Amino acid sequence: MVFYMDISISQHTQHAAWYHSNFLRVAQTQFQDFKKTYRKFYGRVENYKRFAVFKSNLVKINYHNSNPNSAWTMGVNKFSDLTDEEFVQTYTCLVNTNNLAIREQTRKRVSESFLEKIPNRVDWRQSGIITKVKHQGLCGSCWAFCATEQIESYAALANVSHAELSTEEIISCVPSIRNIAGGCIGGNDFMAYGYVKLFGISKSEQYPYTSAQNINITDSCRHSIKQPAVGVQGYERLESNDLNAVLNHVANVGPLGVSMGGLNFIRDYKSGVVKCNFDEKVMFNHAVQIVGYGTDSIDGDYWLIRNSWGGDWGEEGYFRLSRENICGLDDHYRKVCGMCGILYEVTYPVGLFKIN
């Protein structure tokens, strides 16, 4: 009996050693490809550290993808050499949804009857009002990208402008409000809309993006180069947690800017329909633009969402988020609904006009 146990233990040890050796070879090959693809250059010590992090992330990716019940796929991307802590520190947007006093008017709820004539699929990219996917770089500026993208889209819908507008002006020139720092530290769309209402917004070619080189360092406002091209009269906010209102608006009016949790959850996203984890409270730490919706034949209903992590992330810069209308609590113990709390804070600009 002891003889057979020794053989079993020996075989198990040999199998584990073979698996580790094989995984190590694959990981080394993928790490070299990763560095080449994303132009990563490290010193000797840093290379050793980043390879260790890369291997850990690769284990997580392989484990997730081995689950036959998963509706989405993880993959190696530009963030695969970062620990979770490093990623959160660099890309967390700290979207503040707790300043009710300075929000503008909330629209009424939409009844089920309004949804009878909406199409089964909507993609505003096909209407020519969605600019190219941008990359926020080493700056927690998703809030500014989301607001700028919304202004671009609604300016195009109103035939006011079809140009890319300056996210940098929003990041560097919008002042902090109460307990919200703004810039690369994080902010909210009402800060951006409030600024554009007062001062307008320049084109991106006039005021290009520069706050992406150093982690969460916001460049100073360059007043001398501002040339406002588009203005807004304000913005409106849909009723919180109203799935019907969001569907109706995306189908019949235009894209929507939304806040969401799950920033770290989607970092390894490659393709498919994402479902967030509601086991913990939702912390709003990202802002994105809903540009459509549809239904996957296998994974069900989804929102089509533009991210601000570049076109080489996810599905050409986009991801699909499940439309399952589940609810949970945020870190202020408020009821938030939609996957990742995406139905709680939903806004769009109004009264777009041309300047100069």
pLDDT in tens, the chain (356 residues): 433 444 454 555 554 455 566 878 889 999 999 999 999 999 999 999 999 999 999 999 999 999 988 889 999 999 999 999 899 888 877 676 655 434 445 555 555 555 667 899 999 999 999 999 999 988 989 999 999 999 999 999 999 999 999 999 999 999 877 667 788 888 888 899 999 999 999 999 999 999 877 777 788 999 999 999 999 999 999 999 999 999 999 999 999 999 998 887 899 999 999 988 776 788 898 999 999 999 999 899 999 999 999 999 999 999 999 999 999 998 888 999 999 999 999 999 999 999 97
Is residue 249 part of the annotated active site? The answer reads: no
Q: Based on the domain organization, do 43 and 93 belong to the same domain?
A: no
Q: Based on the domain organization, do 35 and 147 belong to the same domain?
A: no
Q: Based on the domain organization, do 194 and 142 belong to the same domain?
A: yes
pTM value? 0.89
Is residue 142 part of the annotated active site? The answer reads: yes
How far is C-alpha 331 from the geometric centre of its chain's CA atoms? 19
Point out the catalytic residue in the list 244, 307, 337, 340. Answer: 307
Q: Which residues pair with 286 in a beta bridge?
A: 260
Point out the catalytic residue in the list 139, 142, 146, 184. Answer: 142
Residue from 352, 353, 331 nearest 341 by CA: 331
For 99, the token pair is 């300043």
Q: Based on the domain organization, do 39 and 101 belong to the same domain?
A: no
Q: Based on the domain organization, do 128 and 61 belong to the same domain?
A: no
- Other CB atoms within a 10 A radius of the CB of residue 266 amount to 23
Contact 31, 51 (CB under 8 A): yes
Point out the catalytic residue in the list 244, 286, 337, 340. Answer: 286
For 79, the token pair is 């963030």
What CATH number has the domain bearing residue 156? 3.90.70.10
What is the total count of domains within the chain? 2
What range defines the domain where residue 349 resides? 88-354
